[in-house]
Amino acid sequence: MTVRAFAPAKINLTLHVTGQRDDGYHLLDSLVAFADIGDHLEFAPGPTLSIEVTGEHAEGVPADARNLIWQAAQAFGWTGSVHLNKVLPHGAGIGGGSSDAAATLRVLSDQGADIPYELPLSLGADVPVCMAAKAARMRGIGERITPVRLPPLPTVLVHPGVPVPTGPVFAALASRANPAMPVDLPEFDTPQDCAMWLGDLRNDLERPAIGVAPEIARVLDALGATTKALLVRMSGSGSSCFALYPSMKAAHFAAYEIGAAHPDWWCRAVALS
């Protein structure tokens, strides 16, 4: 029987790099939300493991053991065919591969498999938070997840089509011991409340990512120039960027503005939660 799953885009509203362990892993403090857009997966049991990738951003996505879906399925000894409709750009800082892996783990768990505690994190720092696919604070190396209540956040996501490898971005980071977010996070009633609070926080990877891919600065400038933008920031290690708006109407209008001016960019109006 075919089982379907949704793997939403993960957006880092903040990303504070607070330290680095002796084993090289970076310590993070990040407020994460998830969009109502994402990849779609279908699973059908069978004698062998295979992945078929189709969709707007299928090109360049591995369909073998390099794919986190494959690694997640193989960890359970599950075999069958997986069809991945790749809606999200990959290497874009919005957790596409991690969200795909998390969706795979959720499907297998729903079928009765027990997920070893260490498995999600072994697949990637973003996989544990993607397991819940709800707004959360992510700390440590990705293993400390605390649910957070956010109002629906009207948002525009933009990816300029420039992939940014995570390694060079972290290598260009000037400091790895930066202040964390406040200990206690407030509750927000409106997108305006949330955007105002987020304005005092940061993504520590934004500046080094711009050094690696200057196109990111153009995206941030373009988003900042849209009507009614409340907050503009890069997500993850780039190169996707986002802007928050007071309403979905304002977000759709801004997406139209961006699309008209930059038809070669991937641009979507979404709601985060």
Q: Which are the catalytic amino acids?
A: 10, 126
- Mapped to the 3 state alphabet, what secondary structure does the chain carry? CCEEEEEEEEEECCEEEEEECCCCCEEEEEEEEEEEEEEEEEEEECCCCEEEEECCCCCCCCCCCCCHHHHHHHHHCCCEEEEEECCCCCCCCCCHHHHHHHHHHHHHHHCCCCCCCCHHHHHCCCHHHHHHCCCEEEEECCCEEEECCCCCEEEEEEECCCCCCHHHHHHCCCCCCCCCCCCCCCCCCCHHHHHHHHCCCCECCHHHHHHHCCHHHHHHHHHHCCCCCCEEEECCCCCCEEEECCCHHHHHHHHHHHHHHCCCCEEEEEEEC
